[in-house]
Amino acid sequence: MDLWLTNVQLETSYLKEGDWSYGTKTENTAIGINDGKIAEIVPMSEWQAASGATIIDGENQLLLPGLIEKHCHLDKSKLGTPWRPVTPAASLVERFETEIPQLDALPLSIKERGQALIDLELPHGAVMFRSHIDIEPMTQLRYFDAITELVAEQPFGSELVLFPQHGLLRSNAASLIEEALATGKASYIGGVDPYTLDQDYKTSLRTTFELAQKGHVGIDLHLHDRQEAGRATVKEMIRLTKEFNMQGKVAISHAFGLNDFEGEERKEIFQALADLEIHIISSIPISLGTIPPLKELQSYGVAVHIGCDNVYDSWSSLGDGSLQEKLARYLEIFAVKSQEDLTQALGLVTDGKVPLDKNGAQQWPKVGDSADFLLTPAACTAEFVARKGFVSKSFYQGTVVFSAE
C-alpha cells in the first residue's frame, strides 16, 4: 500500500426523527491508496499499520469527494497585477479584440497569473480544473503552450478546452485547433455563440464536431445566445451529437437559451439532452431570467455542473475562485433546504459523486475509485455545502493537492 489515510469519517446513512432528516451517521474509517486509487476501505477498529506505507491521520474529519472546477479560464485572469476595472466595450467583438492586447501588456506572465487563480481556488477544495484556452490568430498557440506547461507542473487533474473565442469561422481558427489537437494535450474543443458570431451556426458546429471526432476529444461550447439563436444552436447540437455518435462527450456552458423553450418542445429538448448525455455547465449568474432552469433539467436526468468562470479578468472584476460560494448561490436561488437535497447538491461540483444517495444508502467511496477527495471538520455533507465548510486537505489520485497546515 502506498498510503493509508486513517481516522476519517465516512457518512453511512441519514439521522432521522420521523420523516425528517437532521444529520448523518458516520463511521471512523481507514482508506488504503495504491497507484492513485482506493485499494481498501476498513473500519479503524480493524485497521493494522503496514510497513512501508505513508500514513496520514485524518483527525476524525469528514471525507468528501474532491471538487471539480468545470469552467475556468486560466489564461485570462489578471490576478496578481495592479487593480484595473473592466474597460468599456460596445460589443462582444470589441471586448475580445481588446482583451488580448490588454492581457499581453500585463506585468505578469500567463503562467504567473494562471498560478494565482489556481492558488485562489485550491483552498476551496478543487482537485480538478477544466480550463478553456484562447486559440485564434491573435494568440496563435502562445496561451495554449503556457497553460499546458502550467498544468503539467501541478498535482491536480486537468482538462484543457481549445477555445476559438473570436469565432471558429470568423477568425479562421480551424488550422490552429488542428495544430493544438496534434499535441495530444487537449480534452475538448470549445467555441462561442456560433449563430451570432460566425453567422453560420450550422457550418461552424459541423466543423467543430468534425474536428472533435478527428482529434478524439469532446466538445464544450459557450452558448449565451437567447431566443431563436440560442434555440437553433441547442437543437443543432442535439442533432450533431446523434449524427457523430458523441453521446456523453458534449457539454454546453452557460446555456441561457434553454429558458426560451416552451411547452412540448421544452420537454422534448430537455429529454434529448438527458438521453444524449449532453452536460450543462453553469456559473450561476444572478441576472433575472438568465440562469438556466437547472433543477428542472436535473428532473429530466440532465447532468448539471457548476464552474467559477470569470475571476478578475477583462470580462468581470468580480469572482473569488470559490466553487463553494457558487454552490451556495445555487442553493439560495433554487431554495435548496433539506438534509437530503443539500447532500445531493454536492454532486454539482463533484461530477455527481455524493456519499449518500437520495434514500440515504452509502454510495461513495468504493474500492477502485480514483483517490480524489478532501477533508473537512464539517459534520456532514449538508453542513459542508450549506456553510461552505473549511477544507483542511485535498487529494488527487492519492497525492496531496492542498493542505491548510
Mean pLDDT value across residues 180-196: 98
Closest CA to 278 of 244, 246, 230: 246
- Residue 249 belongs to a domain with what CATH number? 3.20.20.140
- Are residues 74 and 189 both part of a single domain? yes
- Is residue 75 situated within a structural domain? yes
- Are residues 61 and 73 both part of a single domain? no
pLDDT at 1 over 80: no
Number of domains within the chain? 2
pLDDT at 139 over 90: yes
- Are residues 16 and 163 both part of a single domain? no
Mean pLDDT value across residues 287-313: 96
Q: State pLDDT tens for residues 120-136.
A: 999 999 999 999 999 99
Mean pLDDT value across residues 157-163: 99
Mean pLDDT value across residues 87-109: 94
- Are residues 84 and 179 both part of a single domain? yes
- Residue 382 belongs to a domain with what CATH number? 2.30.40.10
Query: Which pLDDT does position 259 carry in this prediction?
Result: 98
- Are residues 38 and 177 both part of a single domain? no
Q: State pLDDT tens for residues 10-66.
A: 999 999 999 999 999 999 999 999 999 999 999 999 999 877 889 999 999 999 999
Query: Which pLDDT does position 49 carry in this prediction?
Result: 82
- Are residues 90 and 37 both part of a single domain? no
Query: Which pLDDT does position 96 carry in this prediction?
Result: 87
**All residues at 6 or more sequence positions from 43 whose CB lies less than 8 Å from its CB, including other chains:** 27, 28, 29, 30
Domain end point (choices 271, 303, 321): 321
- 163 vs 288, residue with greater confidence: 163
- Is residue 290 situated within a structural domain? yes
- Is residue 304 situated within a structural domain? yes
Q: For the chain, give the secondary structure using H, E and C.
A: CCEEEEEEEEEEEEEEECCEEEEEEEEEEEEEEECCEEEEEEEHHHCCCCCCCEEEEEEEEEEEECEEEEEECCCCCCCCCCCCCCCCCCCHHHHHHHHHHHHHCCCCCHHHHHHHHHHHHHHHCEEEEEEEEECCCCCCCHHHHHHHHHHHCCCCEEEEEEECCCCCCCCCCHHHHHHHHCCCCCCEECCECHHHHCCCHHHHHHHHHHHHHHHCCEEEEEECCCHHHHHHHHHHHHHHHHHCCCCCCEEEEECHHHHHCCHHHHHHHHHHHHHCCCEEEECCCCCCCCCCCHHHHHHCCCCEEECCCCCCCCCCCCCCCCHHHHHHHHHHHCCCCCHHHHHHHHHHHCCCCCCECCCCCECCCCCCCECCEEEECCCCHHHHHHCCCCCCEEEECCEEEEECC
Mean pLDDT value across residues 140-148: 98
Query: Which pLDDT does position 79 carry in this prediction?
Result: 98
- Is residue 335 situated within a structural domain? no
pLDDT at 146 over 80: yes
What is the C-alpha to C-alpha distance for residues 200 and 203, in angstroms, rounded to an integer? 6
- Are residues 82 and 55 both part of a single domain? no
Query: Which pLDDT does position 218 carry in this prediction?
Result: 99
- Are residues 20 and 95 both part of a single domain? no
- Are residues 268 and 361 both part of a single domain? no
- Is residue 326 situated within a structural domain? no
- Are residues 33 and 127 both part of a single domain? no
- Is residue 338 situated within a structural domain? no
pLDDT at 214 over 80: yes
**What does each C-alpha distance from 130 to 120, 147, 157, 186, 343 come to in angstroms?**
15, 11, 9, 10, 24
Q: State pLDDT tens for residues 248-296.
A: 999 999 999 999 999 999 999 999 999 999 999 999 999 888 999 999 9
Domain end point (choices 277, 297, 321): 321
pLDDT at 364 over 80: yes
Query: Which pLDDT does position 288 carry in this prediction?
Result: 80
| Set of cell numbers at residue 209 | 464536431
High-pLDDT (> 90) share of the chain, %: 96
* Confidence class for position 329, pLDDT limits 50, 70, 90: very high
- Is residue 343 situated within a structural domain? no
- Are residues 243 and 304 both part of a single domain? yes
Residue 357 backbone phi and psi in degrees, to 5:
-80, 180
Structural domain of residue 33, as residue ranges? Answer: 3-66+353-403
pTM above 0.95, yes or no: yes
Query: Which pLDDT does position 105 carry in this prediction?
Result: 97
Name the amino acid, one letter, at 53. A
pLDDT at 389 over 90: yes
- Is residue 195 situated within a structural domain? yes
- Are residues 22 and 127 both part of a single domain? no
Which residues does residue 63 pair with via DSSP β-bridges, in sequence order?
Answer: 375
Query: Which pLDDT does position 77 carry in this prediction?
Result: 97
